[in-house]
Structure 1
Amino acid sequence: MNATDFIVARNDLQECSFIETKLPDADSLPLEALLVKVDRFAFTANNITYAALGDQLKYWQLFPAPQDFGIVPVWGFGEVVASRHPSVAIGERLFGNFPMATHLVIEAADVSKRGLRDAAAHRQGVASVYNAYARVAGNDIYEGRNGDYQALLRPLFMLAFLVDDFLDENDFFGSRRVLLSSASSKTAFGLAHLLHARKQICVIGLTSAANADFVRSLGCYHEVVLYDEIEMLQTDSPAALVDMAGNGALRARLHRHFGAAMKYSGRIGLTHRSFSPDEPGLPGAKPTWFFAPDQIRRRARAWGPGGVDQRFGAAWSSFAPTLPARLTLIEGRGPEAVRKVYLDTLNGHIPPAQGHMLSLLD
């Protein structure tokens, strides 16, 4: 039997194709390794960010590909179809970071009742979350539609949770207004949901005219402002910017408009592919990248064992019930369905109200 991988050119993300490789026999797997069939995975604009930053943030090294190509990481589910680990049985279901492929070999380590990690040498040097797999068989929160929401939004909502916590930890840098660019993105509206619960914070969503109705329908922004209208925003009180778009020209406009009133400028995502560096000497707070692993480590020390999971779980429990009214889930199976959703997402043709669950298996 063969495995199928979806690969993209690292210097031209429009170029994509499929390759087939021979699956290893169970007896030829390394000791304690697992062969996992990738059942289904989520695909969002966040995966395009993984590809766009693949070299800088080492995402390409997670899943080796031919020279000058890469395999985009995705969040999803897999089934163990062969195992050489005594504590992991065939049929075990895993949730975690997978390649856009039909199969993955995992060198299982740190196996516990709750999960395991991939100890493959080429996967080290990235944040540990990308190598961790939850054992989810029989867990209702990972079954059916609940599982789809986990794959689509749990990793993004974790980022939103950490940004919300970071802002709160720093008393919002003296501001009571938070501006979110690319307000229709799934990370942004997860963050807006959390910020909206903080009664003293005004949440302002910045978006395009095409996405404005969707952003208003989410119900978690106090104000929705089109990109063409940002110079109409009041500048008489401090503001904090959480930039999901990664558009340097937009960020410069906001800094010039708010001037010294821009008390924080955090760069989070890259939903606009027209990425450009910051202009020198922008007024207001210097734009800085928010690095989630640093916040996790700091909070893990402060909150003790299980503290991050407990607090995140409570936040997710308030967010998940809102998703059926906010998102339409669409399933796609087979190579051509995967290619189409990838290219449509890359080129900005996916409506923000859609969430896609895919599989390379026919």
Structure 2
Amino acid sequence: MKSTDFIVIRNNLQQCKMIEMHLPDPAALPTDALLVKVSRFAFTANNITYAVIGEQLKYWHLFPAPEGYGIIPVWGFGEVLASKHPDVEIGETLFGYFPMATHLVIEASDVSKRGLRDAAAHRQEVSPVYNAYARVSGDPTYAGRQGDYRALLLPLFMLSFLVDDFLAENDFYGARNVILSSASSKTAFGLAHLLHQRQGIRVIGLTSNGNVGFVTSLGCYDEVVTYDHITAMPAAEPVAYVDMAGNSALRETLHRHFGARMVYSGRVGLTHRASEPDEPALPGAKPVWFFAPDQIRKRAKEWGPGGVDQRFSAAWAGLAPRLPEWLDVIERRGPSEVREAYLDTLQGRVPPKQGLILSLAE
């Protein structure tokens, strides 16, 4: 058997190709191993962020590729084709972190009724969340279009949820105005949806001229400002800035405009991929990376077993009904379609209202 893998040159993401890799004979799988067919996966600008910081956060280690190349991780669904684990059946559906490929071999560990973990040695340098797979066979909330929404937004909305919780825990550092760059991105509008429900918090979205209509239509931003008008914003009150764009010039402009009234500057995303390695010292709060695993660990300890899941599930239940009006799911299948979708996302050509669900299988 062979797997088709979509690989990119790590230091030149524009260069990509398909390769075929040999898979082990299902009958010869090691004890507890699973052979999984990757049936469909979501692809968003967040996956490009995984590639941009793949070296830094060890994402390239998850799914080995030829020297100099990498396989971008994606969130999606897989079907168990062969199982050497006594508690995992052929035909089961798994939801989790997969390669852009047609197949994956998982070393199943910590198997429970709800999920399992890939114990492969090369995968252990990342946060445990990336090695966990939910067993979702027969679960209607993971089936059909609901499953597509989960693949597209669930991991991103967890980040939105954690940023919202972190800011609220710190009383927004004294600010009542929260500015989000790349306001049309899925992580940003998930966060805006949560912030909009908080008493006394005003949410300002920064976006391009072409995305103003979409961002305004979401109904969760109190104000929408285009990038060419940010210095016209009033600068008399404290603001908290959540940077989804990762644009050094934009960040500097905002800091110099608000000065000491920039009381929080959190770096979350890299949708613009325009960060400079050596940035000058800026007025206001020092820009810091928001590291989601730290907040999860903190809250898991404070809220006890199941506390994070319970609160996140309630937040997701509030978001899910809005998604059919906010997103059009576009399905694309086969190597050439996946390549085109990847390059469109890399170049920022995918309209924000579109959610891409891909499969390398024809």
Amino acid at match of 2:202: C
Whether 1:130 and 2:133 are equivalent positions in the alignment is no
d(CA) in 2 for partners of 1:145 and 1:3?
26
Deviations 1:71-90 (A, max 9, x none): 00000000000000000010
Equivalence map 1:74-93=2 (5 Å): 74-93=74-93
Shift of 1:121: 0.2
Amino acid at match of 1:195: L
d(CA) in 1 for partners of 2:213 and 2:128?
38
4+ runs deviating over 2 angstroms = 277-281
Amino acid at match of 2:331: E
Shift of 1:278: 5.8
Amino acid at match of 1:342: Y
- When the two chains are superposed, the root-mean-square deviation of aligned CA atoms in Å is 0.7
Instruction: Give the equivalent residue in structure 1 for 2:185.
Output: 185
Tell me if the contact between 1:248 and 1:278 (Cα under 8 Å) persists in the aligned partners: no
Amino acid at match of 1:94: L
The number of aligned residues is 362
Equivalence map 1:140-151=2 (5 Å): 140-151=140-151
Shift of 1:23: 1.9
Instruction: Give the equivalent residue in structure 1 for 2:296.
Output: 296
d(CA) in 2 for partners of 1:258 and 1:277?
23
Whether 1:334 and 2:334 are equivalent positions in the alignment is yes
Whether 1:287 and 2:281 are equivalent positions in the alignment is no
d(CA) in 2 for partners of 1:279 and 1:36?
44
Amino acid at match of 1:285: A
d(CA) in 2 for partners of 1:190 and 1:222?
14
Deviations 1:224-283 (A, max 9, x none): 001110111111110000000000000000000000000000000000122214632210
Instruction: Give the equivalent residue in structure 2 for 1:37.
Output: 37
- Structure 1 counterpart SS, 2:255: helix
Instruction: Give the equivalent residue in structure 1 for 2:361.
Output: 361
Instruction: Give the equivalent residue in structure 1 for 2:116.
Output: 116
Deviations 1:135-177 (A, max 9, x none): 0001010000000000000000000000000000000000000
d(CA) in 2 for partners of 1:18 and 1:179?
40
d(CA) in 1 for partners of 2:277 and 2:167?
24
The normalised TM-score by structure 1 is: 0.99
Shift of 1:199: 2.3
d(CA) in 1 for partners of 2:276 and 2:189?
24
d(CA) in 2 for partners of 1:277 and 1:15?
23
Amino acid at match of 2:172: F
Instruction: Give the equivalent residue in structure 1 for 2:195.
Output: 195
Amino acid at match of 1:42: A
Amino acid at match of 2:19: I
d(CA) in 1 for partners of 2:226 and 2:203?
14
- Structure 2 counterpart SS, 1:264: strand
Question: Are the structure 2 counterparts of residues 106 and 155 from structure 1 closer, same or farther at C-alpha, using a change threshold of 3 Å?
Answer: same
Amino acid at match of 1:33: A
- Structure 1 counterpart SS, 2:195: helix
d(CA) in 2 for partners of 1:49 and 1:155?
13
Instruction: Give the equivalent residue in structure 2 for 1:97.
Output: 97
Amino acid at match of 1:107: E
Question: Are the structure 2 counterparts of residues 278 and 208 from structure 1 closer, same or farther at C-alpha, using a change threshold of 3 Å?
Answer: farther
The normalised TM-score by structure 2 is: 0.99
Shift of 1:27: 2.1
Shift of 1:288: 0.1
Tell me if the contact between 1:252 and 1:278 (Cα under 8 Å) persists in the aligned partners: no
Deviates more, 1:69-78 or 1:14-23: 14-23
Amino acid at match of 2:326: R
Tell me if the contact between 1:9 and 1:69 (Cα under 8 Å) persists in the aligned partners: yes
Instruction: Give the equivalent residue in structure 1 for 2:311.
Output: 311
> Any stretches of 5+ residues in structure 2 without a counterpart?
none
> Any stretches of 5+ residues in structure 1 without a counterpart?
none
Tell me if the contact between 1:248 and 1:277 (Cα under 8 Å) persists in the aligned partners: no
